Structure 1
Amino acid sequence: MASQRQKEAVEKWILAEDFIFKDNHAKKRYQTYLQRFVDSVFLEKQPDRVPVFITGTFLVPNLYGLSPYEAMYDYEAVIEAHIRFLRDFDPDYALTPTTIGSGKVLEIIGFKQYRWPGHGVPSTSVYQYVERPYMEDHEYEILINDPSDFWLRCYLPRVCEVFEPFAKIPPLTDLWEIINYTPFFSAFGTDEVQKALNKLSEAGKEAKSWVEKVKSFSLEAKALGYPVLVGGTTKAPFDLIADTLRGTKGALIDMYKRPDLLQKALERLTPIAILQGIRGARASGNPVVFIPLHKGSDEFMSDRQFKTFYWPTLRTLIEGLVEEGCIPYVFAEGSFNSRLDYLKELPKASCFWRFERTDMAEAKKKVGDWVCISGNVPPAILMHGSPQEVKDYCKRLIDTCAAGGGFILSPASTLDEARPENIKAMIEICREYKG
């Protein structure tokens, strides 16, 4: 069951002592909707109705006529759109512009790992990942020996123009005792490093401006009675390798050609991933930590590969977060039909799993008494269907998954667009239909 530290963190989150709400109705709404979410996750009792968790990146800007470019560059407009969404749609939980990010910051640092609106893709397009091997196969030992040094002097110079000069600075571990300090800092006196430091300062000021506006939105949403459901983010160790560093092709090859090095790297990155999730949760005062799963699906690897390379460190990551009072929110992208039995190795009633293409009837049957499950209204229906089609699909999901509690209705993916009447239909059905 939920750990004592989880219960303590949740109690503090729900009570929100000393926080000033707009009025008593807003406070009651906030606490009631959070309690409904917690009851679902901890499997302690069946809530009065199914919670509905609308997820989106560029969804809200799209609903209010903002292009992806405007969403990334006009902070005031994107914040205002998210406030309007709360008032117009009355969702259970607030959507935030956090994952949209600032195009201005990306420009300043010369970010090369993504193409974003107006920079590699049209202003009407959402951002796109540029998959390349950002770590070579012979660099595993460097990563394993000192991940922070690898990030600073190898990885970041490849993905951000501003960090390119850092490839030439000495490792920070060269700083020991007085005789080394003066020669070490000479590297920071070069013109290219000085220029980079100035750019980093500029990026920091711009990022601070954006973060302050997003924080202000989250506080306003809370004051109105709309909780934000995600407090921190981290990644499965295998995905740090297969997404961020080696790319899909590189990771596939590594499973066959250098499995021992891959295993060592996964184990090395696991405590780093745990701490990242904990930091976000503690900084926000929100114990929910989002973990998107990309390369662990049925489509990507065999069960043997999942059992060997993906699951052990993911399980350790989830367990580590639970031990520290966090609630892991795991988004299993693709199909996890053949992975469901693994979930029973996790602490019971300690996390919730959102599924994209997994058979929800099987998920309910196999793990519905062990973990909270969430999903999985197809984006195609939300984009092109009618409100009645949306409600009918949601009813079938509620009938399949809601009995006994432990179910949260959500889209199958993180939305960038949908018909507004269909989003309203998805929210309304949970208030109209108990199953």
Structure 2
Amino acid sequence: MLEQAKETNQLFIDIDEGRIPKRVPVYTWMDITYIMQYAGVNLKRAQWDVDHFKDMVEFGAKSFQSDINPATFTRIMPVYNILGAVNFVMSSEGQIQHPEVTGMQPEEYDEMINDPYKFTHDKILPRLYKNLDTTPEKKAMVFAKAMKAHSDIFGQIFAHHDLMAEKYGLAYDRVGCQTIAPFDQVADQFRSFSGISTDIRRYPDKVLKACEAVLPMMLKSGVKPHSSRQKRTFIPLHMAPYLREKDFEKFYWPTFKRLIDALWEAGAAPLLFVEQDWTRFLDYLNELPAGTQMMFEYGDPKVIKEKVGKKHIISGLYPLTLLARGTKQECIDKAKEMIDILAPGGNYIFSFDKVALNLKDAKPENIIAVNEFVKEYAVY
């Protein structure tokens, strides 16, 4: 299957290098929790069973007809448990949730802006991860234990992804690391959704300085030695759709644009998850360096193709909700509609508009049928 893996990988390389591939590549994203449920294991127990993560990775590789292994590990509970996380917690059903938390108070903006690394280490992390709220000696031990667990777990996962690609003829994993837009960092982990919504009116200058202050941190986390067009920097975009355009233009866009430009300059090609509806901001997105991949959640495919599809790589937009409720034929018909709009001229990777987290999100048989159809139909 190694030769098939090379052929599959070439589909993505062609797109990354501006060529039209033999066919539209299929990239299905699903959290490991979805695969665990489909495999019939106990979800709460399986997320602690590190030794069997490899089994779930292989189960995903052979089950869903994706050109890249669909298994994604976004939240690793053993690591969060070591840290005592309050920003990511497990529900009674076994799903990892992100409650609204506040890591920084408004009166602390100046302190954070003055030294964002020190403030994050000394103040924010102990508030979000309670086991770090201790003596320096114990804090160092908790950090070391968590980093060791994180490195061990992901080291095994990444190595197994490559083995599964060769075993099942898949392309290699497309994501090399992750970072976040500066405004989203300040909002998500420091001030919360409601906090930042108030701050842009009460303390606009401080919010702007905060975004500037965290920009170097976001750039550092988004560039790795292996960064490339084939090992992209994943960036989920959160807050922009909830902002007025003048606020987006003032607070969100400047440091985000500089982050993307700097990533490209460092050889790190971005893969954006464009959450919610960015229709108002498509012209801004088109200003980003050519070849940026954009996985859209919502929007008119025709408008998106026209506005950004000539310059950038489009993915997403296929509604996960249809896979949950529709018949197999309805799902296939929708796939044909999306391909007919988005595939002409290249720059298109077939994927769904969201990452499947729960088995209720999509019927596995619909995912398989749609992916098989795309591979047969979407040939250039």
Classify the TM-score, shorter chain. over 0.9
Q: Is the 8 A contact 2:29 2:71 kept in 1?
A: no
TM-score using structure 1 length: 0.81
Question: In the comparison of the two structures, how many residue pairs are matched?
Answer: 373
The percent identity for this pair of structures is: 30
**Structure 1 residue runs without a partner (length 5+):** 1-24, 166-191
Q: Is the 8 A contact 2:60 2:71 kept in 1?
A: no
Q: Write the letter of the residue equivalent to 2:162.
A: L
Report what 1:214 is aligned to: 157
Say whether residues 1:421 and 2:365 are aligned partners: yes
Aligned-pair distance for 1:317? 1.1
Report what 1:170 is aligned to: none
Say whether residues 1:368 and 2:333 are aligned partners: no
| Cα distance in structure 2, aligned partners of 1:278 and 1:395 | 36
Aligned-pair distance for 1:201? 4.2
Report what 1:400 is aligned to: 341
Report what 1:431 is aligned to: 375
Report what 2:54 is aligned to: 79
Residues 200-238 of structure 1: per-residue CA shift (max 9 Å, x gap): 444344334323321331231243242111111000111
| Cα distance in structure 1, aligned partners of 2:42 and 2:322 | 22
TM-score using structure 2 length: 0.92
Q: Write the letter of the residue equivalent to 1:156.
A: L
Report what 1:390 is aligned to: 331
**Structure 2 residue runs without a partner (length 5+):** none
Aligned-pair distance for 1:73? 0.5
Cα distance 1:45–1:203, how it changes in 2: closer, same or farther (>3 A)?
closer
Q: Is the 8 A contact 1:53 1:93 kept in 2?
A: yes
Q: Write the letter of the residue equivalent to 2:351.
A: S
Report what 1:114 is aligned to: 88
Q: Is the 8 A contact 1:96 1:228 kept in 2?
A: no
Residues 124-163 of structure 1: per-residue CA shift (max 9 Å, x gap): 2311112122111111111111111011111011011221
Aligned-pair distance for 1:285? 10
Q: Write the letter of the residue equivalent to 2:246.
A: R
Report what 1:378 is aligned to: 319
Aligned-pair distance for 1:407? 1.1
Cα distance 1:205–1:301, how it changes in 2: closer, same or farther (>3 A)?
closer
Cα distance 1:267–1:204, how it changes in 2: closer, same or farther (>3 A)?
closer
CA RMSD of aligned residues (A): 2.0
Equivalent of residue 36 in structure 2, options 42, 57, 61: 61
Q: Is the 8 A contact 2:238 2:275 kept in 1?
A: yes
Report what 2:24 is aligned to: 50
Aligned-pair distance for 1:193? 4.1
| Cα distance in structure 2, aligned partners of 1:200 and 1:345 | 39
Report what 1:341 is aligned to: 283
Cα distance 1:382–1:314, how it changes in 2: closer, same or farther (>3 A)?
same
SS of alignment partner, residue 81 of structure 2: helix
- Find the structure with the greater CA-based Rg: 1
Query: For 1:31-430, what aligned pairs fall within 5 Å after superposition?
Result: 31-42=6-17, 44-57=18-31, 58-101=33-76, 103-116=77-90, 121-122=91-92, 124-165=93-134, 192-224=135-167, 225-226=169-170, 227-279=172-224, 281-282=226-227, 287-297=231-241, 300-348=242-290, 350-416=291-357, 417=359, 418-430=362-374
